[in-house]
Structure 1
Amino acid sequence: MGIVQRQGIRNTLISYIGLAIGFANTVFVLPRLITTSQLGLVGVLVFLATIGAQLSMFGFASAGLRYFPYFRNQGRNHAGFLPLLLGLPLLGFAVVAVLMALGKPLVLSWYEAEDAALVAPHYGVAIALAGVIMLGALQDAYLKSLFHTSFASFCQEILLRLLIVAAALAYSAHYLSFAGFVAAYAGAYAVVALLLAVYLAAIGELHLRPTRAALRVKPLGEMLAFGGFALLSNISGTVLLQVDNFMVGTQLSLAAGGIYLLATNVSTALTLPFRALNKTAFSLIAEYWKEGDLPKMGLFYQRVTRLNTLLGCYLALGIGLNLNFIFGLIHKPEYAAGAGAVLLLLAGRLFDGITGVNGTIVVTSPRYRYDLGFNVSLALLIVGLNWVMIPRYGLEGAALAYCIALVGINSIRTWFVWHTYGLQPFDTRIPRILAVAAVAGFAAWALPELGNIWLTLLMRGGVLTVLYGAGVLLTGTAPEAVALLGKLRGRNLTP
């Protein structure tokens, strides 16, 4: 087994453990230990820092992955690649840090006086956090280029989240003030960046002496052009994931932003199987493009869409039907105000998951540049819809804007793939899956509350699982499951 395959298996395991820790942290730990306004503040600081880090890097993390093969093994220090990778972003960060500092009055003016007073003392943390996020991302890209990914994955997926949990527990036990918690939150990212540097030194790859040879391997202008393309893609991705929460905080309140952040985190659980399937889909679709085998790609496209529909409908119903259970575990009734937002976000994410492979097809195709246009359009659409809908409809307005944007852009992207390459993701099984999901979901929803959230969870979850599973098998919408069931029956009948 090669190093890439071994580290791929480790990274997959680390990712799932990290996702579980992250979900528990953002849904159950932080909301119980800090107030809604404080949670909203954390979301604001992370958003500002992430934008600052991406502007500082100017896409050089992606450029590093793209161009390192040209530098590899050119001398013991890879022709001075690491100083080049770090140098320009550090200069960029110096500029961005000054701009962020000068922009503080503007940012504070977006908030009500009470919320601005909460943001102001911690604004400097966002600047420092931008720096350490940038350093961590650049070192992570360098380690990926060197095929040393497991340690970085562990630090970013598991250790970082455990450090944040430890900081929250220390704050709740009064070992830290809230200012200390915010500093420790940023400090967790700094610890990860430092550990990555130590690891690079340990494997003998921390080459910090700049060389002129680095400028001769590949034209700097070409790298900057690629970095600019990557920057637009990365910025649009950040906007897609976080701008609605930021705009809720500015147009309503930090407390509302905290409630909406929790709603976003709850709905994110729906995306876990989509991410797992899409990781596999990316490499396979890229291989189909290499072979020019569009028929196989079309069959795979439909199969992944069907699996995403099967898993997505079940998870969306499971989450939506048991929101009382989820909010009950937090022990803070104010978060229940986000229930409507969760349902709308689930609808948008479900549609995105069902049709989401279209993005993978576009980004791996000869027309990959169109994907940037789709992402930028989606980001602008989300911002515009949020601007109109949040003041009118509150948290549900932000969620509805996100849902409309996802449905709209994925519909256009699906049409683009069908029109350009003749591939479409739907077969006759999709309507049957949706019908089974509707029947099973309605039956579980119609059951009365039992007065105990655990008993209600077991009753509704059990009914949903039995009806949905039976419906899927009887309608033949999951041939793999039917084949597996047939094999199991055959084994049981064998003497």
Structure 2
Amino acid sequence: MGIVQRQSLRNTVISYVGLGIGFVNTTLVLPRLLAPAQLGLTSILVSLATMGALVSALGFTNTTLRYFPYFRDRENGHSGFLALLLGLPLTLFVVVAGALWLGRPLVLRWYAHDAALLGPHYGAMLGLALCILLYNLLEAYTKSLFHTSFSSFLTDVLQRLLIVGSAALYGAGVLSFDGFVLAYLGSYAAIAALLLGYLAAIGELHLRPTRAVLRVRPVGELLRFGSFALLGNISGTLLLTIDSLMLGSHSFADAGIYTIALNISTALAVPFRALYKTAYPLIAEYWKEGATDKMLDFYRRSTRLTTALGAYLALGIGLNLSFIYSLIHRPEYAAGTLAVLLLLVGRLTDGITGVNGIIVVTSPRYRYDLLFNVGLSGCIIGLNALLIPRLGLTGAALSNALALVSINLLRTWFVWRSFGWQPFDRRIFYILGLAGAAGLVAWALPGFQNSWLTLLLRGGVLTALYGAGLLLTGWVPEVSALARKVGLPIR
């Protein structure tokens, strides 16, 4: 796990710097400057653009991570793979953008309650879709080159700084709200352009098409895999976007409140995302080499680590939600408190079950993942249709949590049934028990009138009890190794 640990550590550091910026952005800037309906609009625009980019990509982001090891040949420009990777999806985007524009009346009718807010910015959504498509394709390429830190910096740090700066200009009256939306779009365009420049700087921007790319693997095979991956990606993207899209038809204000709840819960997913960025190409290499022993070892160790981190972060966020919402100074946003707790349950399950999805989608049995994903898509749409009219944004969060729990349990079972691998041992349950006990003690502590003191007391007790328990027991060797590196006397 050497390369994974180095890249994951860099990505985690970058991600948590970005998390701090994102927290300021989410809790101290955007909610204070934007009404819930305005914040909901940005969420709807990003969700619609993400879906358009996803369809245009043809599943080539997954295809790159799965098949690039066969094309890897730097001296020969990787046989022109990048030209193929960009050419087909960007060509299809022209068709998708045309369809989205022709479908504008239907979209505005779906969001009839806030059509006056969405209509003037519909064109910006198409530009946003193009930027997201280009960035996602380039990021998949850089992941396959094992260059993940710079893309993490772009999305987790730079883009958030650009959004904070745009919001500050809007708050100062320098930008109108229309100008803020265009600046928001500009942040996506900037990171796509910078990633393109980064590839040029490291000598990996091979844009000249070659016939050699057709001889490495049949294009039909790539397209078939991409088609399956596309259908699978739709469900994954629906998990992230369908809540906002369906909530938006009910109320842009609810979508804005839900966006804040989703952003708060995102802190739990940071270490998982950092690991998965490097795990995907590594697991693809393991499949290519037939290194199943290494893959199983990685599966178990990564699951143990994400369980330990996830449990700690979930408790830390859940115990201090009142403090987090107090920083926003807009009481209407606190309506998302229960939604945050439900979202944390789903994200924690995703971490505990480990890299099961990556194992399936990079395996020879990747087609079976499509069945899970199609089922997940139908499940989450059906649950949202049932629960949002009754429970509003809480119903959207409940749907999200149920979908995440269900898909991860199914994938874990499938990996065990298909390959005889499962990532759990008794230490996983010990870790969860320790986290629960430490969290219960911290929750039982009396609160202070000063919310900062309550935060410090509960957070300090949770950290001391949980951290000491992990170090004394040695249940997570990576934590003990890190403690020894910083000079703690751990055996």
TM-score bucket (shorter structure): 0.7 to 0.9
Q: In the alignment, which residue of structure 2 is the partner of 1:385?
A: 383
* Alignment CA distance shift 1:463-1:151 (3 Å): closer
The one-letter code sitting in structure 1 at the alignment partner of 2:438 is A
Residues 1:433 and 2:431 are matched in the alignment: yes
2:131–2:188 CA contact under 8 A, matched in 1: yes
Residue in structure 1 matched with residue 228 of structure 2 by the alignment:
229
Aligned-pair CA distance for 1:239:
1.1
Task: Indicate the RMSD between aligned Cα atoms, in angstroms.
Answer: 3.8
Structure 2 residue aligned with 1:90: 90
Which TM-score applies when normalising by structure 2?
0.85
Counterpart amino acid of residue 337 in structure 2: A
Alpha-carbon distance between aligned partners in 1 of 2:8 and 2:25, rounded to the nearest angstrom = 25
* Structure 1 position 313, deviation (Å): 1.9
TM-fit CA distance, 1:22: 3.4
Match of 2:168 in 1: 169
How many aligned positions are there?
A: 489
Unaligned runs of 5+ in 1: none
1:57-136 aligned at under 5 Å gives the runs 57-63=57-63, 66=67, 70=71, 83-113=83-113, 115-136=114-135
Alignment of 1:263-412 (within 5 A): 263-278=261-276, 298=296, 300-412=298-410
Higher mean displacement: 124-133 or 482-491 = 482-491
Contact 1:432–1:475 at 8 Å: present in 2 too?
no
Distance in 2 between residues matched to 1:268 and 1:100, nearest whole Å: 29
> Who is 2:188 aligned against?
189
Given that 2:356 and 2:415 are in contact with CA atoms closer than 8 Å, whether structure 1 keeps it comes out as yes
**In 2, Cα distance between the equivalents of 1:99 and 1:15?**
36
Structure 1 residue 333: Cα displacement:
1.2
Q: What is the correspondence of 1:472-487 to structure 2 with a 5 Å cutoff?
A: 472=470, 477-478=475-476
Q: Distance in 2 between matches of 1:49 and 1:484?
A: 41
Letter matched to residue 185 of structure 1: Y
- 8 Å Cα contact 1:355/1:414 also seen in 2: yes
CA deviations on 1:175-232 (whole Å, 9 max, x unpaired) are 0000000011112222233344555666777676767776677654444333323322
Q: Is the alpha carbon distance of 1:69 and 1:27 closer, same or farther for their aligned partners in structure 2, counting shifts above 3 Å?
A: farther
Listed one character per residue, the Cα deviations across residues 394-446 of structure 1 (whole Å, up to 9, x for unaligned) are 22211111111222222222222222333333333344333333333233223
Which ranges in structure 2 are unaligned for 5 or more consecutive residues?
none
Deviation at 1:167, TM superposition (A): 0.8
Considering only CA atoms, is the larger Rg found in Structure 1 or Structure 2? 1
Post-superposition shift, 1:269? 0.7
Distance 1:69 1:411, change over 3 A: closer
Offset at 1:457?
0.5
> 1:432 and 1:226 mapped to 2: Cα distance?
40
Amino acid at match of 2:246: M
Instruction: Please give the alpha-carbon distance, in whole angstroms, between the structure 2 residues aligned to 1:320 and 1:93.
Output: 41
Residue in 2 that maps onto 1:465: 463
What SS does the corresponding residue of 2:364 show, helix, strand or coil?
A: coil
Does the Cα contact within 8 Å between 2:346 and 2:402 map onto a contact in 1? Answer: yes
Aligned-residue offset at 1:37: 0.9
Pair 491,198 (structure 1): closer, same or farther in 2 beyond 3 Å? closer
Query: Mean Cα displacement is larger for which, 313-322 or 471-480?
Result: 471-480
CA contact (8 A) 2:37 2:253 kept: yes
- Which residue does 1:137 correspond to in 2? 136
Name the residue aligned to 2:254.
256
Q: Which moved more, 1:160-169 or 1:410-419?
A: 410-419
Give the Cα–Cα distance (whole angstroms) in 1 for the partners of residues 296 and 146 of structure 2.
32
- Quote the residue 2:44 is aligned against: 44
Aligned equivalents of 2:488, 2:181: Cα separation in 1 = 59
Q: How does 1:211-230 map to 2 (within 5 A)?
A: 219-230=218-229
Q: Displacement of 1:51 after TM fit?
A: 1.1
Q: Distance in 2 between matches of 1:80 and 1:411?
A: 39
Report what 1:54 is aligned to. Answer: 54
- Residues in 2 aligned to 1:327 and 1:485: alpha-carbon distance in whole angstroms: 33
1:169 CA drift (Å): 0.9
| Gap change, CA 1:445 and 1:138, over 3 Å in 2 | closer
- Of all paired residues, the percent bearing the same amino acid is 63
String of CA shifts for 1:47-103, please: whole Å, max 9, x gaps: 11111112223234444563596495797x777655544443333122111111111
Query: Alpha carbons of 1:430 and 1:35: their partners in 2 closer, same or farther (altered >3 Å)?
Result: same
Q: CA deviation at 1:171?
A: 0.6
Q: Which amino acid aligns with 2:131?
A: V
Tell me, in whole angstroms, the C-alpha distance in 2 between the residues paired with 1:298 and 1:211: 38
Amino acid at match of 1:458: L
SS at match of 2:392: helix
Query: Is contact 1:309-1:433 (8 Å) kept?
Result: yes
Q: Distance in 2 between matches of 1:463 and 1:70?
A: 51
Q: Which has the higher contact order (CA 8 A, sep 6+)?
A: 2
Deviations 1:241-283 (A, max 9, x none): 2211221222x31111011111111111112233344556556
Q: Which amino acid aligns with 1:136?
A: Y
Write the letter of the residue equivalent to 2:240: L
Q: How far apart, CA to CA, are the structure 2 residues paired with 1:432 and 1:9?
A: 25
Aligned counterparts of 1:156 and 1:188: Cα–Cα separation in 2: 9
Q: Whole-Å Cα distance in 2 between the matches of residues 178 and 334 of structure 1?
A: 21
Distance 1:6 1:317 in 2: 27
- TM-score normalised to the size of structure 1? 0.84
- SS of the equivalent of 2:247 reads helix
Counterpart mapping for 1:4-23 below 5 A: 14-23=14-23
Q: Tell me if structure 2 keeps the 8 A contact 1:348–1:402.
A: yes
Contact persistence 2:445–2:458 (CA under 8 A): yes
Match of 2:34 in 1: 34
Structure 1 counterpart SS, 2:327? helix
* Residue 157 (structure 2) aligns with: 158
Partner SS for 1:330: coil
How far, CA to CA, are the matches of 1:254 and 1:214 in structure 2?
46
